Amino acid sequence: MAPRAVLTDIEGTTTAIAFVKDRLFPFAAGALDGFLARHGTEPAVAAILAEVGAAAPGQPPAATLRRWMAEDSKATPLKALQGLIWRQGYEDGRLKGQLWPDVPACLRAWAAGGLRLAVYSSGSVGAQKLLFGHSEAGDLTPLFEGFFDTAVGGKREAASYAAIAAALALPPADILFLSDVAEELDAAAAAGLGCCQLVRAADGTLACGRHPAEPDFPGVARRFGLPG
């Protein structure tokens, strides 16, 4: 039976890995010190810095944030702070959310055909909304009914996908999860979701062999009988 909802990853799935690693991450790293100097005492930022401090006691938060950035850590406070830093860039036009050319048309067709759409990324919910809201294809946020980040749990944990299915009030088997990362697909499959790996040649992704694999969203649509 065709899925009733699609849950999609961002980096490596809707969006080039290079955009995240070569544009978004350096933007946040370059703006970090100035952002903390200007906004570090604001309640939202101070709360993030307190979380960073609690995760690495005795270390200056800025140093911990820089170490996490260098490690491509998915630590929730880092992701929250990156989202706050990117906001300025999206709002003044220095950043535009990049999507693979096949993605916007499929998302629109899927939503128009009655599929429910949601995002699950390590990037914060705020960062997800910025990327889709300021995308090169316009504001795509109205297409999505849900945005999930690591507040729901890690992407390699089956419980996270069970929690998302519960939040969407759908049986897990009615949800198709799209990701480039095999371990995320393994976790989603363990929770009972349908899965498809995005194997985008430009990203250098290799098919893991454990899940259906497609090179792009039209391939996903054909394989799973999605509208459009």
Ligand X SMILES: CSCCC(=O)C(=O)COP(=O)(O)O
Q: Which residues bind ligand X (CB under 6 A)?
A: 9-12, 20, 24, 74, 79, 82, 121-123, 127-128, 131, 155
Q: Which does 20 bind (CB under 5 to 8 A by kind): Mg ion, ligand X, none?
A: ligand X
* C-alpha radius of gyration, the chain, whole number: 18
Shortest approach of Mg ion to residue 161 CB, angstroms?
14
Residue 39 tokens read as 């906004």
Q: Which does 122 bind (CB under 5 to 8 A by kind): Mg ion, ligand X, none?
A: ligand X
Q: Choosing among ligand X, Mg ion, none, which partner's interface includes residue 153 (Cβ < 5 to 8 Å by kind)?
A: none
Min dist CB 40 to Mg ion, Å, is 30
Whichever of 28 and 184 has its CB closer to Mg ion, that residue is 184
Closest CA to 120 of 79, 75, 161: 161
Binding string to Mg ion for residues 4 to 43, with x set by CB under 5 A, is what? -----x-xx-------------------------------
Handedness of CA 152, 156, 162, 164 (dihedral sign): positive
The stretch among 104-112, 124-132, 177-185, 201-209 that binds Mg ion (CB under 5 A) is 177-185
**Measured from the CB atom, is 1 or 93 closer to ligand X?**
93
Which residue type sits at 114? G
Sequence-ordered list of residues with C-beta below 8 angstroms from that of 16, at least 6 positions apart, any chain = 98, 100, 200, 202, 203
Q: What is the distance, to the nearest Å, from the Cα of residue 27 to the centroid of all Cα atoms in its chain? A: 17
Partner from ligand X, Mg ion, none binding residue 128, C-beta < 5-8 Å depending on class: ligand X
Residue 188 near residue 8 (C-beta atoms within 8 A)? no
Helix (H, G, I), strand (E, B) or coil at 186: helix
State the binding partner of 127 from Mg ion, ligand X, none, CB within 5 to 8 A by kind: ligand X
Residue 149 is a binding residue for Mg ion (CB under 5 A):
no
Number of H helices, E strands in the chain: 10, 6
